[in-house]
Amino acid sequence: MDLVDVHCHLTTYSAGELDEVIKRIEAEMSLVVTSGITPADNLKSLEIARNSEKILVTFGLNPVSLGRDEKLFDEYLEAVYANSKVVSGIGEVGLDYYWEKEESRRAKQREFFPRFIDLARELGKPLIVHSRSAMKDTLAILERHTPDKFFIHSFRGSPSQARKLVDLGGFISLSTAMVRFPRDYTKLINSVPLEYILTETDAPYLAPRKGEQNYPWNVRESIAFIAQVLDQDMEDVAKQVYKNAISMFGMV
Ligand SMILES: [Zn+2]
């Protein structure tokens, strides 16, 4: 079965465990995208991606850190341009009002978000959007300033917000937390066509079961869940989600 995890953080595993994780990715997965969140984490992620043809890397910048220290942006830009041939996407970037309560710093996040959108467009790469407790403002920016290719990772908005994103040409990426919150996710899955849905883990976070560490291959449980909601064959769902990921990351 074609299993894809379009958003995880492989840098959080210990070196010993990482070898095992990569082996299992090689054996069981079709595509895994690991996303960096700091300048150092981006470079570490890049090194990991070099170990496997199945692992792509994207360079991101934590919105909370950027809102507090805008000098990070120039350092980020430099690293993206220097590695633009091997970086497969811009993100995760976006807005985080959960960890940032201060309005002037939230405003800084909003000021920089369009610059990442411009960068993704300029480089012809997808934008991986992080939006936490900030969906209204995220959507407002994306409406005014629409990227060519993008998805919101670990989407937890409403069905109507999901439809709005799809109208803008965006995809929604649903995490393995769907197994824990079946009612919310059933509504979301039914609110947009399968052609706009991606699967992710956000590993090591958002595991199917509370308190556990998450792993990329757990997306198998998401595929089973989606298949059940849509009353479709797991194979067919997996194939479509894989197709969606391939078109997002421009591999066709
Ligand atoms: Zn993440």
Band of pLDDT at residue 97, cut at 50, 70 and 90: very high
Q: What confidence score (pLDDT) does residue 51 get? A: 87
Task: For the chain, give every domain's residue range.
Answer: 4-248
Q: Convert the pLDDT of each residue in 55-94 to its tens digit.
A: 999 999 999 999 999 999 999 999 999 999 999 999 999 9
Query: For the chain, what is the mean pLDDT?
Result: 96
Q: How much distance in Å is there from the Cα of 85 to the middle of ligand 1?
A: 22
CA distance 30 to 219: 11
Mean pLDDT of 204-210: 89
Structure tokens at 142: 């994306």
Band of pLDDT at residue 103, cut at 50, 70 and 90: very high
For the question of whether the overall pTM of this predicted structure is more than 0.85, the answer is: yes
Angle formed at CA 91 by CA 63 and CA 183, multiple of 5 degrees:
85
Q: How much distance in Å is there from the Cα of 1 to the middle of ligand 1?
A: 24
Mean pLDDT of 131-145: 97
Structure tokens at 226: 């989606």
Decide yes or no: CATH 3.65.10.10 for domain 4-248.
no
Q: How much distance in Å is there from the Cα of 133 to the middle of ligand 1?
A: 14
Q: Are residues 4 and 174 in contact, defined by beta-carbon separation less than 8 angstroms?
A: no
Structure tokens at 199: 């699967």
Q: What confidence score (pLDDT) does residue 205 get? A: 87
Q: Are residues 108 and 96 in contact, defined by beta-carbon separation less than 8 angstroms?
A: no
Q: How much distance in Å is there from the Cα of 9 to the middle of ligand 1?
A: 6
Instruction: Strand 4-8: give its sheet, edge to edge.
Output: 4-8, 31-35, 55-58
